[in-house]
Structure 1
Amino acid sequence: MYYEVYIDVLFLINFMMDYLLLLIVRRVLKCTATHGNICVGSIFGAAAVCICMLLPVRSTLIRFLLFHLSVNAAMIWIGLKIRTLREFLKAFAALYASAFLLGGVFTWLQPYVRAGSLFFGAAVGSYYLVIGIWKFLLYLQRMNKYQYTVTVYTSGESCTIHALLDTGNSLCDPVTGKPVCILGKRQAGEILKEKELQTLRYIPYCSVGTEKGVLPVIRAEKMCIHTGQECWVEKPLIGICEEDSFTNGEYQMILNPAILGGV
């Protein structure tokens, strides 16, 4: 059994796929490489694959080292202009993750591709789908980064709730200048006692849909923000919102970034 391989077709397909992969990695890692750099890296990768195909090498291990380590490493170095080891390892991992996603999406589209010209269209369509997947994964990562478990202590009582660090929350007490976190109304009613209600006062605020308003604020005894380690805040200011929870019930508190030193 033998296979007939057209070297020009092999080169063109590999060039196109390498170019798309390097574009994806550049976008994910926000590299400064130009399209010219990526083009040169893709030409090198495609040419190296063609040369490796012509070499009389039967060892699976050697072919693996040539294809997956040497060629891809050089392609990243040339195409993305990455020089530090840390950035290289991130790019190498992103390249293989992108190749896995691109291959999966392209395999899903391949049954619908009947003509050679549609092959390239499917490849480009796969590129945009993979970019969308990466954006969604990075969004989930960012959301996870801003999620915390918070324990609020009031009059000897404590309550553990889910909180979201909102970079858009810059509410501060106009008198003391201290940051104000926002607690849902139902949760506030469960944990506030007479001692906290005696410290209740109102501060002005504005938000989307409310140009001018006032927000009831209390001073709790202390608050612990679990960030991998315990971050204690003494006498935190907590505003009581009319809503019971935020983002469809996922969180009961909105944290002010200033309470953790800013983001």
Structure 2
Amino acid sequence: MYLEVYIDVIFLINFAMDILLLFIVKKIVKCKSTKPRIIFGGVIGAIGACILAVIPDLNGILQFLFSYCLICTGMVYVSYIQNGWKARLKTIAVLYIATFFLGGVLNSLYYYSKLGVFFRDLVNGGLFRNLNKTYFVIAILFGTIAIIVFIHTYYSFRKGNSRLYEAELFYRENKVRAVGLLDTGNGLYDPIYGKPVIITEYSVISKLLSEGQVKLLQTWLDNLEGNSSSIGRMGLSEDLMKDSDGERLNIMMIPYHSVGRKNGILPAFTLDKVILWEEDEQICNEKVLTAVCADRLSKQNEYQLILHKDIM
């Protein structure tokens, strides 16, 4: 007795599943990658599955080492741009968890529903003789729900345990380090273009600006605090856009609501770049709009920025 295996089908199934898993892991760990790298990682995983399929009698220990050490490490190494083995090991661990979670769902569907018949027909080439689209739709539906639940659960755990990020802000030739708080309640957006807005303390921003720009920004803050009628009506005069040397600081107004202040306004301008760190991982965003707050954001000075979920 022999088992007829269609390598092309095994390759395509594993390639699709590996691509899906790699995109999920990328979303969770927030690491840099590109679509070609993800595709190449999926190819490595699919080739590994094909090798195991044609060598079914491979020793169990060797099979484990090949699958969970060599192949997984290769997929992570190729798919993601990371520095240091600590970050890579963390990514490999997340890939294991995502694989086991999705595999458990598919395994349950395989043994406790007629979906198992569907997959057996798919592998042995009899799918198109006994095709039932209902099972195919059910498989996609349950798999999608499982992935959404997994991502939501992971993010809830992550947000509850790690909300502070080391941050570096860049403007022109200057840069400054600070600590940012990821606040899911920060719903500030640019009212014109809809860009997310972070909030930074004046004490941090002032280190990025020239002396003239600092005075200019302070003028805006003083006028807004005093409810100046010209700025209150969003008037952007040239005198309030240039410092004494004629250097522009393109400030715009961001309306906000807070406890004790129904209608407030913060001055904002665009930073060249913001880099965030969590352990060995980094998130880089360019052209980030930051509003400037004259007061301290944290009474204990634990953080100096309030981050926005849409830049994470």
| TM-score normalized with structure 1 length | 0.53
- 1:102–1:130 CA contact under 8 A, matched in 2: yes
Distance 1:121 1:64 in 2: 31
Offset at residue 125 of structure 1 (A): 4.9
CA-to-aligned-CA distance 1:61-102 (integer Å, 9 cap, x gap) = 111111121111111111224452012101100001001111
Describe the shift of the 1:73–1:124 C-alpha distance in structure 2 as closer, same or farther (beyond 3 A).
farther
2:143 corresponds to: 126
Q: Give the CA RMSD over aligned residues.
A: 3.7
Aligned 8 A contact 1:22 1:80 in 2: no
Percent of aligned positions that are identical: 32
Contact preservation (8 Å) 2:32, 2:82: no
- 1:99-138 counterparts in 2 under 5 A? 99-110=99-110, 111=113, 113=115, 115=131, 118-119=135-136, 122-123=139-140, 125-127=142-144, 129-138=146-155
How far off its partner does 1:52 sit? 3.2
* Corresponding residue for residue 68 of structure 2: 68
Aligned twin of 1:36: 36
- Output one character per residue of 1:196-239: Cα deviation in whole Å (capped at 9) or x when no partner: xxxxxxxxxx7369628xxxxxxxxxxxxxxxxxxxxxxxxxxx
1:94-243 superposed matches below 5 A: 94-110=94-110, 111=113, 113=115, 115=131, 118-119=135-136, 122-123=139-140, 125-127=142-144, 129-145=146-162, 167=183, 207=258, 211=262
Aligned residues: 171
Task: Give the match for residue 27 of structure 1.
Answer: 27
Gaps of 5+ in 2: 119-130, 164-180, 187-198, 200-256, 264-296, 305-312
User: In the alignment, which residue of structure 2 is the partner of 1:92?
Assistant: 92
Partner of 1:259: 300
Q: CA deviation at 1:131?
A: 3.6
Stretch of structure 1 that moved more, 74-83 or 3-12:
74-83
Give a deviation string over 1:96-153, Cα, whole Å, max 9, x none: 100111112333445264557654872475245324322233223323457xxxxxxx
Aligned twin of 1:18: 18
The one of the two structures with greater contact order (alpha-carbon pairs below 8 A, sep at least 6) is 2
What secondary structure, in the 3-state scheme, does the structure 2 residue paired with 1:211 have?
strand
**Superposed, which structure 2 residues align to 1:45-84 within 5 Å?**
45-55=45-55, 58-84=58-84
* Amino acid in structure 2 at the alignment position of 1:24: I
Distance (Å, rounded) in 1 between the aligned partners of 2:182 and 2:45? 44
Q: Whole-Å Cα distance in 2 between the matches of residues 137 and 41 of structure 1?
A: 23
TM-score after normalising by structure 2: 0.45
Give a deviation string over 1:166-195, Cα, whole Å, max 9, x none. 95699xxxxxxxxxxxxxxxxxxxxxxxxx
From the CA coordinates, give the structure whose radius of gyration is larger: 1
CA 1:141 to 1:81, structure 2 compared with 1: closer, same or farther past 3 Å? closer
Amino acid at match of 1:211: K
